[in-house]
Amino acid sequence: MNESSESKSTSAAPNPKRTPLALEHEALGARMVDFAGWWMPVQYLGLKEEHLACRSSVGLFDVSHMGEFRVKGPEALASLQWLTTNDVSKLSAGQAQYSLLPNAEGGLVDDLYVYCIQPGEEYLLCVNAANVDKDFAHILKNARGGNWVNESADWGQIAVQGPKAPTLLERLFPGFGAMAKNTHREFSFAGAQVRVATTGYTGEDGAEVFVPAAHTVALWRELMRVGQDLGVAPIGLGARDTLRTEMKFSLYGHEIDDSTNPYEAGLGWVVKPTSKDFLGRAPMLAVKEAGLKRKLIGLELVERGIPRQGYKVLSSDGREIGVCTSGTMSPSSGASIAIAYVTPEFATDGTEIAVDIRGKAVRAKVRPTPFVVPGSKRGTN
């Protein structure tokens, strides 16, 4: 889950919304764009430099445009079990869970994170910025009780990611280093309570910090100050997109949308149909049982070129077999990579395929993903 694609950032809306950090980005010389109705930094010094800073040291991302919903009450768990594909009943206080928000047809309204505050009674949801209004309307229409509040305007959010992120976070939040992956807890900062979650969408270590909107600037400045010796750098939407592409993480509007079946997107691991019923369960399973018509793969060009979203994928003999959903030149490896849907017979690693780039069939091969090993994992077995 990650709102980051520069391809959605075209001309500015008349009055795009501004995160609490908008002036900070402008002061740092960021190139600002309208993204999903928000005035956001696409890059500061350069996409490649920012990307590599996150892979080698630590980067700060303004993700305050993401949406936050809270649900409380004795019916909170029953609602979430019906509304999401993963098994929320497995969560203890302080645990987080990646999940999907399905529609009645078995497609995907969004992907999201569920944070358990009090089992059965209180949960915080984080959803994609472009889908906030759509998601909340969908939830209110289909929920099975609970007191739902859209708290999106109340929160800023800063992602701290990279192999040196734990060091930086420990300096501000003593005890962070003892936190396991996909957990969260409250810390005090400048007299405010912030929620630090060991989640993120770069593949690197780190956290996403939910901070009251009025304290977001102070937290950003303190992270920049305290992390100076670690090489901390602000990271824009451009590098955020290349980082998640290298990991083959799905982005709403690219790999997943309202018509996507999660099994074809490789997201079956967060679908728990044997544990519970949920909205769209029957049609979702019917697609799987009938045999998937396409699968999401990673590919790498073996000739010069850069694959982009919407480019056709071809068999070695020129037949159209799929489409690229995301693509870039990997800043980490220099290889031209893409995420794509192809018919299942071409989804095996090593299969020779091609990408149609402006009318030329550029040779490629299906390859294992992620495309890179995150910096904090390198050298390990």
What are the tens digits of pLDDT across the range 62-78?
999 999 999 999 999 99
Q: Kindly list the structural domains of the chain, giving each domain's residue range(s) and its CATH number in brackets, ordered by start.
A: 6-62+154-246 (3.30.1360.120), 293-367 (2.40.30.110)
Mapped onto helix, strand or coil, the DSSP state of residue 68 is: strand
What are the tens digits of pLDDT across the range 215-262?
999 999 999 999 999 999 999 999 999 999 999 999 999 999 999 999
Pairing of the two strands 108-118 and 122-127: antiparallel
Angle (CA) 340 341 342, round 5°? 115
Which DSSP letter does residue 248 get? T
Which DSSP letter does residue 12 get? P
**CB–CB of 120/37 below 8 Å?**
no
**CB–CB of 243/202 below 8 Å?**
yes
Mapped onto helix, strand or coil, the DSSP state of residue 299 is: strand
pLDDT band, residue 378 (cuts 50/70/90): low
**CB–CB of 7/27 below 8 Å?**
no
Pairing of the two strands 233-235 and 59-62: parallel
Q: What are phi and psi of 354, to 5 degrees?
A: -150, 160
Tell the residue number behind the tokens 């009780």, with chain if given.
145
Q: Which two tokens stand for residue 342?
A: 């192809």
Question: Amino acid letter at 169?
Answer: L
Alpha-carbon distance of 78 to 286, in angstroms, equals: 24
Span 104-131, average pLDDT:
98
On whether the pTM is more than 0.85, the answer is yes
- Which residues neighbour 371 within 8 Å (Cβ) at sequence distance 6 or greater? 245, 246, 247, 248, 298, 300, 330, 332, 333, 335, 337
Question: In this predicted structure, what is the pLDDT of residue 374?
Answer: 85
- β strands within 140-183, DSSP E: 147-150, 155-161
* pLDDT at residue 12 tops 80: no
Tell the residue number behind the tokens 């999106």, with chain if given.
152
Alpha-carbon distance of 214 to 195, in angstroms, equals: 14
Q: Rounded to whole angstroms, what are the CA distances from 258 to 111, 160, 252, 261, 312?
A: 11, 30, 9, 9, 21
Q: Which of 7-11, 163-167, 308-312, 333-337 has the lowest mean pLDDT?
A: 7-11
The mean pLDDT of the chain is 95
Tell the residue number behind the tokens 């969560």, with chain if given.
91
**CB–CB of 103/85 below 8 Å?**
no
Please name which of 31, 34, 28, 50 lies closest in space to residue 42, comparing C-alpha atoms: 31
Largest CA distance in the chain: 64
DSSP code string of 319-369: -EEEEEEEEEE-TTT--EEEEEEE-GGG-STT-EEEEEETTEEEEEEEE-S
Tell the residue number behind the tokens 């294992």, with chain if given.
368
Span 326-354, average pLDDT:
98
**CB–CB of 198/180 below 8 Å?**
yes
pLDDT band, residue 2 (cuts 50/70/90): low
Question: In this predicted structure, what is the pLDDT of residue 10?
Answer: 39
Alpha-carbon distance of 339 to 323, in angstroms, equals: 9
Q: Is 333 left (phi over 0), alpha (psi -120 to 50) or beta?
A: alpha
* pLDDT at residue 107 tops 50: yes
Please name which of 341, 236, 197 lies closest in space to residue 21, comparing C-alpha atoms: 236
